[in-house]
Structure 1
Amino acid sequence: MLDANLKNQLKGYLEKVTQPFEIVASLDDGDKSRELQELLQEIEELSRHITLRTDGDDARKPSFSLNRPGDNISLRFAGIPMGHEFTSLVLALLQVGGHPSKAGQDVIEQVKNVEGEFNFETYFSLSCQNCPDVVQALNLMATLNPNIRHVAIDGALFQDEVEERQVMAVPTVFLNGETFGQGRMGLEEILSKIDTGASAREAEKLNAQAPYDVLVVGGGPAGASAAIYAARKGIRTGVAAERFGGQVLDTNAIENFTSIRETDGPKFAQALEEHVKDYDVDIMNLQRAVKLVPAGEKGGLNEVQFASGASLRAKTLILSTGARWREMDVPGEAEYRNKGVAYCPHCDGPLFKGKRVAVIGGGNSGVEAAIDLAGIVAHVTLIEYDSQLRADDVLQRKLRSLKNVDVITSALTSEVKGDGKKVTGLTYKDRNSSEFHSLDLEGIFVQIGLLPNSDWLKGTVELSPRGEIIVDSRGATSLPGVFAAGDVTTVPYKQIVVATGDGAKAALSAFDHLIRTSAPE
């Protein structure tokens, strides 16, 4: 099952295992059980510390648990964790085998001290780049605390469960049988939800921070680049981000960043964070900015307030809060979000295997989504507002070669329909005839561009009609000492490589501002 190269890599990792443990598989006579057994046998052969048993009696088959003698660890994979989840499998093997996690010691102690009974179930898909963060975080928590149990379930393999529990987006996490959350969540975010005092303690800690020379708000490519360039100048630098990595975390393939031939979003985001950590930068994650209080006319400090209750002060600011998926803003969209309305075809596509779906948007992202989904679902209808598709010609040719794809242009999606639990169809208006038409389907993937994350800045910095922060050639905003970079600004071409350059420019401009304003008269 594993090729020679992957097997050699895995063998190298498993040399770090120091404690014996068992893999207990629950199997049936199906092909997937035979595949899983083959994988687990290969893993057993790679480490003298690992023993495989095939007498498991779990109701989910195929599945396997990782058990360490003398410890009450409850960690299980239901399915075959390959694809994006292979890394989750490797980390689970290492951590159950005694190899320490890279998580901070304070976070590890917090996990160990959490009280209560927590039975987590995570539904994932092997093509989802957001799922591993959740699976890995909960696996680590289950390894550290016997009161925390976790099962990671391949939704495509356990389709009956997905249907019964109305799982229509991944990752979806259940806690003690109730929906806990959907979408990417890291270890600290999960902890903050089950350890109710964590957010208040963190806010108190941040409120006590001394003022920064430069505070970067946002942790995507622009924010990371700004932090690096500021820290290299030797000035006190902090980064406060709702989630470090930003929109890059939701990006599947990156093939156009100069010097990196190919990577994916989560790997790129991890590299960004590791690079920032090479410098003396305070990283404050899970902090969503809600208000900017600019410095007064006679000087002083800028203040940024966060949803957690924390406030941070700084002589200069770099605003790099990025953008988010644009929504259709039609009746039914909000009601059926994650119940058939989705925004990530790579993540959620496998859950719609054999079903009918629509893709809204005829740009590159929409056409690429339709092409990918056509290989999974029964039928795709692509709906474009304009009279023609806007995607690259090579993508359009590929799209039109697919027999299970229909393209409807000059169409305005007007309503998402559902039965109260899930999507059942949509209504669109023909812009030529003004007639309304209905489509029966089970999924809608929205791919109509981005909106800047600038709502919290209204009334402070000058914004464009589209809500972008207006900046000059140096990244300066309408407020002295406040700069901006990346997708949240009016800078054209929303690309990672453009954002990183913008971040560097904003940091250099902030440093120049500090020098000029602190010089004696």
Structure 2
Amino acid sequence: MLEQAMKDQVISVFSNLEQNYTLKVEVSESHKNKTELLQLLEDVASCSDKITLEVEAGSALEFTILKNNEDTNIAFRAVPTGHEFTTLLLAILNLDGKGKNIPDTAIIDKIKQINVPVQLKSYISLTCTNCPEVVQALNLITLFNPNVQHQIIDGAINKDEVDALNIQAVPSVYANGEALHVGRASLGELLSKLEKQLGVSGNVTAQGATKNYDVVVVGGGPAGVSSAVYSARKGFKVAIVAEKVGGQVTETVSIENMISVPKTTGAELSANLMKHLQDYPIDVLENRMVESVKLENGIKKLSTSLGEKIETPALIIATGASWRKLGVPGESEYIGSGVAFCTHCDGPFYKDKKVVVVGGGNSGLEAAIDLSAIAKEVTVLEFMDTLKGDQVLQDKLSTLPNVKIITNAQTLAVDGDGAKVTGIKYKDRVSEQEHEIITDGIFVQIGLKANSGAFADVVETNRMGEILIDATCRTNVAGVYAAGDVSVVPYKQIVIAMGEGSKAALSAFEDQIKGLQLAG
């Protein structure tokens, strides 16, 4: 099943395994995916003398990973090909104490504080680009806490179960039978949600003394990484605090406007950003957020979601932006049950169904084009009187017979039957008449909002929450800078964010040099 080139890569990946692993399969003789699963696992096992395959008769299709003949609490009810093949390999590496995704001590301690039994189930699709990050994060929680069990469930193979739960978006995560999360998420976010649902505390305030740095960068996207690298190259002691290195970039499937790099993906670029950080003595503090900032005699005092205390004279805010929500009745209630944000992940659930795309900018038009190949009918709702997307996208849309465009449409509410979306209400802004569209799914594509909430009381922002900066990325507060999508800089693009990040770092360097000169 695996081509020789792929086998050679897997052999290299597993060359330093220290413990023994068993892929224990339980599968019914008649299961249609039996042959595919066994061929895959036989190929994986053949890549290392530390891995063996054991097959038993079962009632469905499932395999678990044993370490030195002991259950690791990680199970796959799936044939982990596609995006999830990496998840299988990484699970074995992580169990062996290897892999660049292993969290720092503070996160591990937080995981260990879960003191009640937890059964996690993550429902995934092999075509979902967001699923591996979530599944791999849940595997890490399982790895560091014996109270936790995790099943990775392919919705296509276990369709009856998915239908019974009315799952219409992936990844969908359940904890002890209750919905926990839908969509992309970092390890830190999942851990916080799990603690809240279980009613356990995971504060790590006893981690030690306050950490001090010359420069602290908040945010791990292109702007944040650029800031950290430039600051480190100036000889500063630097920390970068982020939910995940890569930030919003990790949600991007294809990137074709990175000058000198004709084509890449969000996953590849994020990996390269992390690799660049690791070339310098930068403390990468992932899986946490800055919750508050206090100013005292020129020092910025930060508190993180882990309870950590960090101090610095120079703070660079590069927290980027996130998908904007409609903010109408019914939207939050039906996220994952008809309301979605990612067409690549959730589009397949709407094959031959009716869908609505809210938003007529580039992201909305691209979503409509993607969905037109899957759905029976696509309706685009745009608030303004004309579409705002690029003309090339509008031209493409005009050739699609199953796409309808409605402008001057103000979304009023999302309707549902208690289990799933049934329709969407909007008002014609010209006639003032209200209308309802009967639909199976709603994809929200109305742009981004600045992630500036933790800093709103520290620096000036505009009405949209973007941090006000001058041409050098300086804010109204001395020693505080902002870069990238969280700021007012126009044109939210990766290359612009990288440039702004380096500019912020250079401004911080210049200010600190001036400060030393004045002090001297």
The 1:16–1:405 alpha-carbon spacing in structure 2 relative to 1, beyond 3 Å, is farther
Q: What one-letter code is carried by the residue in structure 2 that aligns with 1:81?
A: P
Q: CA deviation at 1:491?
A: 0.9
Partner Cα distance (1:257, 1:377) in 2: 31
Q: CA deviation at 1:360?
A: 0.9
What is residue 501 of structure 1 aligned with on the other side? 499
Is contact 2:29-2:57 (8 Å) kept?
no
Partner Cα distance (1:123, 1:508) in 2: 45
Q: What one-letter code is carried by the residue in structure 2 that aligns with 1:255?
A: E
Matched, 1:205 2:207: yes
Q: What one-letter code is carried by the residue in structure 2 that aligns with 1:405?
A: V
Q: Larger deviation: 485-494 or 328-337?
A: 328-337
The 1:515–1:48 alpha-carbon spacing in structure 2 relative to 1, beyond 3 Å, is closer
Partner Cα distance (2:185, 2:83) in 1: 16
What is residue 172 of structure 1 aligned with on the other side? 172
The 1:274–1:209 alpha-carbon spacing in structure 2 relative to 1, beyond 3 Å, is farther
Q: CA deviation at 1:209?
A: 2.1
Is contact 1:244-1:285 (8 Å) kept?
yes
Is contact 2:77-2:152 (8 Å) kept?
yes
Is contact 1:370-1:380 (8 Å) kept?
yes
Gaps of 5+ in 2: none
What is residue 66 of structure 2 aligned with on the other side? 67
Q: Secondary structure at the residue paired with 1:357?
A: strand
Q: Larger deviation: 420-429 or 251-260?
A: 251-260
Q: CA deviation at 1:449?
A: 0.7
Partner Cα distance (2:21, 2:334) in 1: 46
Is contact 1:155-1:351 (8 Å) kept?
no
Q: CA deviation at 1:415?
A: 1.3
Q: Secondary structure at the residue paired with 2:443?
A: strand
What is residue 217 of structure 1 aligned with on the other side? 218
Partner Cα distance (1:204, 1:143) in 2: 23
What is residue 322 of structure 2 aligned with on the other side? 324
Over residues 74-118 of structure 1, what are the superposed CA-to-partner deviations in whole Å (9 max), with x where a residue is unaligned?
32222222222121122234456x573442574668767865433
Q: Larger deviation: 86-95 or 319-328?
A: 86-95
Is contact 1:24-1:67 (8 Å) kept?
no
Q: CA deviation at 1:448?
A: 0.9
Counterpart among 391, 394, 397 of residue 392 in structure 2: 394
What is residue 58 of structure 2 aligned with on the other side? 57
Q: CA deviation at 1:254?
A: 2.0
Is contact 2:64-2:71 (8 Å) kept?
no
Q: Secondary structure at the residue paired with 2:471?
A: coil
The 1:310–1:42 alpha-carbon spacing in structure 2 relative to 1, beyond 3 Å, is closer
Over residues 445-464 of structure 1, what are the superposed CA-to-partner deviations in whole Å (9 max), with x where a residue is unaligned?
11111111223333432222
Partner Cα distance (1:187, 1:465) in 2: 31
Is contact 2:211-2:309 (8 Å) kept?
no
Gaps of 5+ in 1: none
Partner Cα distance (1:517, 1:130) in 2: 45
Partner Cα distance (2:140, 2:203) in 1: 24
What is residue 88 of structure 1 aligned with on the other side? 87
Q: CA deviation at 1:358?
A: 1.1
What is residue 270 of structure 1 aligned with on the other side? 271
Aligned-pair Cα RMSD in Å: 2.9
Is contact 1:156-1:351 (8 Å) kept?
no
Is contact 1:120-1:175 (8 Å) kept?
yes
TM-score (norm 2): 0.88
The 1:242–1:492 alpha-carbon spacing in structure 2 relative to 1, beyond 3 Å, is same
Partner Cα distance (1:73, 1:57) in 2: 19
Q: What one-letter code is carried by the residue in structure 1 that aligns with 2:70?
A: D
Q: What one-letter code is carried by the residue in structure 2 that aligns with 1:155?
A: G
Q: Structure 2 matches for 1:307-386, cutoff 5 A?
A: 307-386=305-384
Q: Secondary structure at the residue paired with 2:485?
A: coil
Over residues 357-406 of structure 1, what are the superposed CA-to-partner deviations in whole Å (9 max), with x where a residue is unaligned?
21111222112112222333333222222333332333334333334332
Percent identity of paired positions between Structure 1 and Structure 2: 42
Partner Cα distance (2:231, 2:311) in 1: 16
Q: Larger deviation: 148-157 or 493-502?
A: 148-157
The 1:186–1:458 alpha-carbon spacing in structure 2 relative to 1, beyond 3 Å, is closer
Partner Cα distance (1:137, 1:13) in 2: 20
Q: CA deviation at 1:42?
A: 3.5
Partner Cα distance (1:467, 1:80) in 2: 44
Q: Larger deviation: 106-115 or 82-91?
A: 106-115
Is contact 1:254-1:263 (8 Å) kept?
yes
Partner Cα distance (1:413, 1:223) in 2: 35
Q: Larger deviation: 124-133 or 68-77?
A: 68-77
What is residue 117 of structure 1 aligned with on the other side? 117
What is residue 433 of structure 1 aligned with on the other side? 431
Q: Secondary structure at the residue paired with 1:387?
A: coil
What is residue 257 of structure 1 aligned with on the other side? 258
The 1:374–1:93 alpha-carbon spacing in structure 2 relative to 1, beyond 3 Å, is farther
Q: What one-letter code is carried by the residue in structure 1 that aligns with 2:156?
A: A
The 1:217–1:49 alpha-carbon spacing in structure 2 relative to 1, beyond 3 Å, is closer
Partner Cα distance (2:92, 2:142) in 1: 13
The 1:247–1:105 alpha-carbon spacing in structure 2 relative to 1, beyond 3 Å, is closer
Q: Larger deviation: 185-194 or 385-394?
A: 185-194
Is contact 2:188-2:288 (8 Å) kept?
no
Q: Secondary structure at the residue paired with 2:215?
A: strand
Matched, 1:420 2:418: yes
Partner Cα distance (1:427, 1:91) in 2: 45
Q: What one-letter code is carried by the residue in structure 1 that aligns with 2:175?
A: L
Q: Secondary structure at the residue paired with 1:92?
A: helix
Q: Larger deviation: 66-75 or 507-516?
A: 66-75
Partner Cα distance (1:480, 1:100) in 2: 42
The 1:431–1:3 alpha-carbon spacing in structure 2 relative to 1, beyond 3 Å, is farther
Partner Cα distance (1:196, 1:245) in 2: 30
Q: What one-letter code is carried by the residue in structure 2 that aligns with 1:36?
A: L
Partner Cα distance (2:224, 2:436) in 1: 43
- Provide runs of 4+ in structure 1 moved above 6 Å: 195-198
Q: Structure 2 matches for 1:299-310, cutoff 5 A?
A: 299-310=297-308
